[in-house]
Structure 1
């Protein structure tokens, strides 16, 4: 993996969840076959050019990537105030967040370009919280058999929400987890990190947390004032290294 691929193909996939029209984007290498796959969930601002940039970066290293659309084209935020309103629907209802993430994962597993036995999830901020919620309900994984549709091998959260209203019980999380947590993050405060550590210690999945110092929430987003290109590259090295191991 990590062979750099210059030519990609993209297609918009229209799907519905609970009556809402969604338009996710599948990005893959422009060659035939199926690939290890990544479900990519956007920040609270929605599916935009930053998310698509992340998807293309992953696809160039050999992955089939579904840039998931949580909001739908009719509800895509036009500004920060709309984004705050849109994301609260899911941040305040974690079971709905899980169901939406599962619905997007099902779309990915149904694509011929995606190897359904090798799927991981990646999210930034809002999306990081969503992939952790997805992992918390990832109970059907069976390491001895081919992976069942609707499950993931691992999930990476980059400055994502760490708290949850429905913490995992012992043995519930089958996916490998990695959380990249920004210290002194007002969006994801230390008390939430402590809650996450406690939850993980009790649930006992294969997990780790990397605490990032001297950074701000949004450091991997080129459109954010907190963007730090050096830290962003380090984060991408970590992401790709773990996906290589997991998939």
Structure 2
């Protein structure tokens, strides 16, 4: 399917430009809007990996946007810089969520996006971002995380309306199986419908083809696993198809 891509620029109330990257199926229109999926990138920012994710989603028939939560389109391949930027936005999680809500609103206002049919996907740090969006009661029907951080801004409650799919690597040294068990308990307590898939021989970052290169450069425990990346992507597409009409 042919697609079109564009920058979606949202301006915060204090004048910061959030430069997100959007992709649409060529045939999406105001007469035939596409279901929308928001993508929260890993801590590197809107680099090639999340851009390719939104393009693949558009090829699968969805409108998609990689959210620039850092602002000004900042991106890096340096783990220390990425960690600093991540810590900065995590220090003000209300601001982080208001940025996500702003991008969600601007994205769903596009005529070719079906604002009543929204999902979200998060990678690593972005996994926390999209789970928190659902915890905040944003209008998402389905949330999927890949090697996501499950740490909560506040625990899920009755406002959490999304169904959840978690893709986790068994060898992830950054997000422990205990953390995943904690997420299960949280979601059970809020009566959330979820599925957790655990992939063998998969480390943190297993969906990102650049993971090994980033690991070597930064001495962090990341690794790409092609089989897990492929299977988790197919499972996510099935999950979105089931939940986004």
Q: TM-score, normalised by structure 1?
A: 0.87
Question: 2:183 corresponds to which residue?
Answer: 196
Name the residue aligned to 1:126. 125
RMSD: 1.6
2:11 is aligned to 16
Which residue pairs with 2:69 in the alignment? 70
In structure 2, C-alpha distance between the alignment counterparts of 1:8 and 1:76, rounded to whole Å: 24
- Indicate which of 233, 239, 242 corresponds to 2:239: 242
2: distance between equivalents of 1:194 and 1:243?
A: 23
Decide whether aligned partners of structure 1 residues 16 and 51 sit closer, same or farther in structure 2, where only a CA change above 3 A counts: same
Specify whether residues 180 and 93 from structure 1 end up closer, same or farther in structure 2 by C-alpha distance, changes over 3 A only: farther
- After superposition, what is the alpha-carbon deviation per residue over 1:203-240, rounded to whole angstroms, capped at 9, x for unaligned? 11111211222110111001111111121110110010
Moved more, 112-121 or 98-107: 98-107
Deviation of 1:94 (Å): 3.6
1:29 and 2:25 aligned? yes
Match of 1:181 among 153, 164, 168: 168
Query: TM-score w.r.t. structure 2 length?
Result: 0.88
> Residue deviations 1:177-219, cap 9 Å, x none?
1111222422112332222111111111111211222110111
With over 3 angstroms needed to count, the CA separation of the structure-2 counterparts of 1:92 and 1:181, relative to structure 1, is farther
How many Å apart are 1:137 and its aligned residue?
1.1
Q: How many residues align?
A: 230
Match of 2:155 among 167, 177, 190: 167
CA distance in structure 1 between the partners assigned to 2:160 and 2:8 by the alignment = 29
- Deviations 1:134-178, CA, capped at 9 Å, x for gaps: 01011xxxxxxxxxxx51111001111112141123x23111111
Deviation digits for residues 40-83 of structure 1 (CA, Å, limit 9, x no counterpart): 11110000111111111110011111111111236433522211
Change (3 A) 1:74 1:49: closer
Q: Which runs of no fewer than 5 residues in structure 2 stay unpaired?
A: 213-222
Is 1:105 the counterpart of 2:101? The answer is no
Distance, in Å, in 2 between the alignment partners of 1:92 and 1:199 is 22
List aligned pairs for 1:224-239, cutoff 5 A: 224-225=211-212, 226-239=223-236
